[in-house]
Structure 1
Amino acid sequence: MNEEFDEIRPYHDSELPQIFEELIADPAFRQVVGAVMPGIPFEAIAGQMRACKTKFEFQKTFCYGLLKKIIKEATDGVTLDISALTDRQAAYTYVSNHRDIVLDSGLLSVMLVEQGLDTVEIAIGDNLLIYPWIKKLVRVNKSFIVQRALTMRQKLESSARMSRYMHYTIRDKKQSIWIAQREGRAKDSDDRTQDSVLKMMAMGGEGDIIDRLSELNIVPLSISYEFDPCDFLKAREFQLKRDNPDYKKTQADDLQNMQTGIFGYKGRVHFQTAPCINEALKSFDRSLPKPELFARVSALLDAGIHANYRLYPNNYVAHDLLTAAREFASHYTEADEKRFAAYLEQQLSRIDLPGKDEDFLRTKLLQMYANPLTNYLKV
């Protein structure tokens, strides 16, 4: 059944014993586990792995506890509001802005479990699957693979297969999915849905574009971090790209971003859903040219995401500092302002660059925190 998905899908529960043995035998995996779970004998962890009969059991045994520990140590609390969803038991495709490589989907799953719901399947780019053990681990953790390093023709075939997989997952498996609204994170927090993501989604399913998108039960999801631990890395990347248009991040950069994002301080974190877009899609003119139709659906998703940001004092302070005005002074205290100014200086000091352009870097950091407010105001 559905062998065409074997290369990209999460593992079936029946495959887990073999995969667990492969992970347990991998020295690199053992080393990482020792660092993440110090003081626990590896054989005890291996025994716990072997006792897990399903992916969900594995998540509850290992991932849930680790994520709760991160929430306790690196945040001031994580909240989820799904009150806009009329049918909590339906399978949804959550399309969200993208702040953190690992935690956007991970924290969402934790919050869903705490509301008595299932975890999501996660779309993850293969550029992040640097080592064989990472690829195995994410597929145990209900991830499906977005293949990126392909020729144009291969990319088209891969996108069509992934779309068919997503439709199959929502329609037949009744399993919710998380996918970012764009490839990679919006480094300046100006969150925009890429039409290409919607075009991929509309490759699978039956009927016209509206029918196919409706089948996926798409829900715009807003993710708001009070502090982005990777903000200084993103600012650094902006200057590197400005000074060298051919600059490309390395695997080591990706690993540093993942590690900093997971363990760095995030302050308050909030997840908020807009309603499923199916009702809104019914009012769309199906006879519109495809590019215009996709652009309108993208705009609909963007409006849902932008309108549901949780705004923090940082966002208002950053906006006022950028505009050299005090338009939003009623939304923060003097203490908030001082705290954010000190935070900015601390993050700037962490940027190690030859020819470091402090003014440029400060502006980029301010834009990251101001853009959510700018977009919210436009909606």
Structure 2
Amino acid sequence: MSKFDDIRPFYDEEVNDALQSVSKHPMMKALMRFTFPDRDDSFWLEKLENVHSIYDFQSKVIYQTVLQILEKSSEGLSTSGFDKLDKNTSYLFISNHRDIVLDTSLLNLVLFEKELIMTSSAIGDNLVGKKILHIIAKLNRNFLVQRSVSIREQLSSSKTLSDYIYQLLTEENRSVWMAQSEGRTKDGNDVTQQGMLKMLAMAAGDSSLIDFFKNLKIVPLSISYEYDPTDALKMPQLIAKSKNEVYVKNKNEDFKTIISGVLGQKRRIHLHAGKVLDQELDCIAHQFENKNKQLQAIAQIIDKSIIGNYKLWPTKYIAYDLLYKTNQFSDRYTEEEKQLFERRLEMRIKDSDETLRKHFLEMYANPISNKMKYEQKSTV
């Protein structure tokens, strides 16, 4: 028994038995038929029988699944920054978060193709309540963030999570993916939660905070979709937030969001791996002695990298001009691209609902507003 058993992925020796236990489940059948559309069931059943490790499952199955997703629902994936990473080094990717499944899946596809160390990825236990989803997550090297524990248990749960992430990075030489804040960003404002960094630092022990974070080799990751396939689904939560109301999810809302994210049209996608945080952390150590100030400064550095390296597709510029009734960025998009975006807006938002329209446009436009703010700060 390990103190990590409640949150860890499967060990390799557990993989085949776990796969065989779900190979004929309707959801697994649907996944395999999507992944191998031109093959009969015997093909993938035999393939699953020969999977004996998480790497096998990711490279022989999930890699093919993500390629199918890209082929059917996108116009291609581009990358930058990954050539500066070392193939034998594990990194902590701290990322903006748009899609429950795709963000990590696309990162691991890139890491696999570039022969870099693939990640173990954090996922909230609220997303894997069904046994089949829990098993698939563990097969795909996900570890659980326990969000359903009581307030009394939260401190212990956070310490266990922190210790596990530190073990993955420093003892197992396994890269890790974490979202910069809890849950997906709904409004396009990508902000690193200081609480997430505090959780990571729980494993620091007596080490200096800066030395600890340098040892994690943090890589800020910017993920940008030209179209957010779940944009309309995020509207009710944004409206509730604007009214200071508590938003209660429908029973199958998370599952519907997962399917929409996977199958919905994304057009172009870009992933940028920022520079490993190193000298910036040294500067923070010289500037601040207070740990809270240091954590705040680290969060700001991550934000600056994610926002600064976020790919601004034409949809972002169109939304900005529509939102602020300007032609400031009209040279960044074509009339055809504008018409396509306006048609998407009309299909998702009723003309009479100005509040929904505003939130929808802000979701796409805020990355531009935030980048402009950071550029203005750097010139002051």
TM-score (norm 1): 0.92
Match of 1:320 in 2: 321
Change (3 A) 1:303 1:35: closer
SS of structure 1 residue aligned to 2:79: strand
**Counterpart amino acid of 2:100?**
I
Most deviating of 61-70 and 113-122: 113-122
Match of 2:219 in 1: 219
Most deviating of 120-129 and 240-249: 240-249
**Are the equivalent residues in 2 in contact too, given 1:306–1:372 (CA < 8 A)?**
yes
* CA drift at 1:291: 2.2
Report the count of equivalent residues: 372
SS of structure 2 residue aligned to 1:224: strand
**Counterpart amino acid of 2:304?**
A
Q: Output aligned runs, 1:167-316, within 5 Å.
A: 167-206=166-205, 207-240=207-240, 245-285=245-285, 288-316=289-317
SS of structure 1 residue aligned to 2:161: helix
SS of structure 1 residue aligned to 2:177: strand
**Are the equivalent residues in 2 in contact too, given 1:319–1:366 (CA < 8 A)?**
yes
Change (3 A) 1:17 1:205: same
**Counterpart amino acid of 1:319?**
Y
Change (3 A) 1:154 1:42: farther
**Are the equivalent residues in 2 in contact too, given 1:205–1:215 (CA < 8 A)?**
no
Please give the root-mean-square deviation of Cα atoms over the aligned residues, in Å.
2.2
Change (3 A) 1:348 1:50: same
Change (3 A) 1:40 1:334: closer
SS of structure 2 residue aligned to 1:5: coil
**Counterpart amino acid of 1:374?**
S
**Counterpart amino acid of 2:221?**
L
**Are the equivalent residues in 1 in contact too, given 2:34–2:68 (CA < 8 A)?**
no
Change (3 A) 1:145 1:324: same
Match of 2:132 in 1: 133
* CA drift at 1:38: 6.0
**Are the equivalent residues in 1 in contact too, given 2:86–2:116 (CA < 8 A)?**
no
Match of 1:52 in 2: 51
- Structure 1 moving runs of 4+ over 6 Å: none
Q: Output aligned runs, 1:17-32, within 5 Å.
A: 17-24=16-23, 26=25, 29-30=28-29
The reply to whether residue 358 of structure 1 matches residue 337 of structure 2 is: no
* CA drift at 1:328: 1.6
Change (3 A) 1:39 1:332: closer
SS of structure 2 residue aligned to 1:76: strand
**Are the equivalent residues in 2 in contact too, given 1:98–1:104 (CA < 8 A)?**
yes
**Counterpart amino acid of 1:368?**
M
Percent of aligned pairs with the same amino acid: 33
Most deviating of 331-340 and 73-82: 331-340
* CA drift at 1:17: 2.5
Most deviating of 264-273 and 320-329: 320-329
* CA drift at 1:43: 4.7
SS of structure 2 residue aligned to 1:77: strand
Deviations 1:86-121 (A, max 9, x none): 534311000010010100000111111111223211
**How far, CA to CA, are the matches of 2:366 and 2:193 in structure 1?**
17
Deviations 1:21-75 (A, max 9, x none): 3223656645665576567554543321120121111112211111101101101
TM-score (norm 2): 0.92
**Are the equivalent residues in 2 in contact too, given 1:82–1:273 (CA < 8 A)?**
yes
**Are the equivalent residues in 1 in contact too, given 2:224–2:311 (CA < 8 A)?**
yes
Give the gaps of 5 or more residues in structure 1: 350-355
SS of structure 2 residue aligned to 1:270: strand
**Are the equivalent residues in 1 in contact too, given 2:58–2:140 (CA < 8 A)?**
yes
Match of 1:122 in 2: 121
**Counterpart amino acid of 2:322?**
L
SS of structure 2 residue aligned to 1:144: strand
The reply to whether residue 331 of structure 1 matches residue 344 of structure 2 is: no
The reply to whether residue 371 of structure 1 matches residue 366 of structure 2 is: yes
Most deviating of 273-282 and 184-193: 273-282
Change (3 A) 1:224 1:101: same
* CA drift at 1:240: 4.7
Match of 1:353 in 2: none
* CA drift at 1:247: 2.8
Most deviating of 274-283 and 79-88: 79-88
Match of 2:378 in 1: none
Deviations 1:328-351 (A, max 9, x none): 2222222222222112112226xx
**Counterpart amino acid of 1:323?**
Y
**Are the equivalent residues in 1 in contact too, given 2:35–2:68 (CA < 8 A)?**
no
SS of structure 1 residue aligned to 2:228: coil
